[in-house]
């Protein structure tokens, strides 16, 4: 029996078992001791929660700033790329604008009429031809249509007849490597590239027609170089 129990328990008679009052006092003392030992532990979960809350507040600004820094460039770049006018790679002293690569020396020159009249003779060959721009892609300038100089299809855009002109040659810019401005309509130009005789892939006719194309046949000249002369009277 402890010193406290000796001090609080009443004297007992010889041979008398421990009374129930001594047991009650002993249990009460143990309970008080347990509360004092467990007291500091109550604040541990609160301290941990406080640390987590502080860490969450400190991390909150960094997690919110990332999306704003990523979304700003994408919203600004799209309009500028759509509104940009294709710039020539070179403007010569005589006002001729070059789009694409420089012309290659020794490339044979063929009249546009010869290509349209006898395409099989020039199929798959690299050549140079001359004509007037009848149409230009209204979306990006990735193709144009070339007509013989003086033909109805070579007139300015507002004067072009509504009916398709069979004497026009489709000229896509090879591999979309460069583009031409819509303002080239009605101007004479010299084009160098590979002449092809090949039907358009399925669905391509509808796509080109939606962009304003009229020459939807199997003849095309895949341009590497486009030389656009100044507008008449310009």
Query: Locate tokens 């509808």: which residue?
Result: 206
- For 126, counting Cβ atoms within 10 Å of its Cβ (0-12 exposed, 13-18 middle, 19+ buried), the class is middle
CA dihedral 9, 14, 18, 20 (to 10 degrees): -70
Domain range summary for the chain, segments of one domain joined by +: 3-80, 90-228
Q: Is the pTM for the entire model greater than 0.75?
A: no
What is the full per-residue pLDDT of the chain (234 aa) written as tens digits?
A: 555 545 444 555 455 455 556 565 655 555 544 444 444 444 444 444 445 544 554 454 444 444 443 433 333 233 344 558 899 999 999 999 999 999 999 999 999 999 999 999 999 999 999 999 999 998 899 999 999 997 654 444 445 444 444 589 999 999 999 999 999 999 999 999 999 999 998 889 999 999 889 999 999 999 999 999 998 876
Tell me, which fold does domain 90-228 have in CATH? OB fold (Dihydrolipoamide Acetyltransferase, E2P) (2.40.50)
């Amino acid at each position: 029996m402890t010193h406290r129990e000796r001090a609080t328990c009443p004297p007992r008679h010889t041979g008398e078992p421990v009374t129930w009052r001594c047991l009650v006092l002993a249990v009460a003392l143990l309970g008080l001791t347990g509360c004092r030992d467990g007291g500091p532990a109550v604040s541990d979960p609160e301290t941990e929660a406080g640390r987590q809350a502080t860490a969450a507040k400190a991390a909150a600004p960094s997690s919110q700033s990332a999306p704003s820094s990523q979304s700003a460039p994408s919203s600004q770049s799209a309009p500028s790329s759509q509104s940009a006018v294709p710039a020539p790679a070179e403007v010569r002293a005589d006002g001729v604008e070059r789009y694409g690569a420089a012309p290659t020396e020794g490339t044979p020159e063929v009249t546009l009429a010869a290509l349209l009249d006898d395409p099989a003779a020039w199929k798959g060959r690299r050549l140079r031809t001359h004509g007037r721009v009848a149409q230009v892609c209204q979306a990006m300038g990735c193709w144009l249509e070339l007509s013989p100089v003086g033909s109805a299809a070579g007139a300015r855009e507002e004067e072009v007849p509504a009916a398709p002109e069979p004497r026009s040659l489709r000229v896509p810019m090879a591999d979309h490597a460069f583009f031409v401005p819509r303002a080239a309509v009605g101007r004479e130009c010299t084009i160098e590239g590979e002449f092809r005789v090949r039907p358009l892939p399925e669905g391509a006719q509808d796509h080109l027609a939606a962009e304003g194309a009229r020459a939807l046949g199997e003849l095309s000249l895949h341009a590497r170089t486009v030389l656009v002369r100044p507008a008449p009277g310009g």
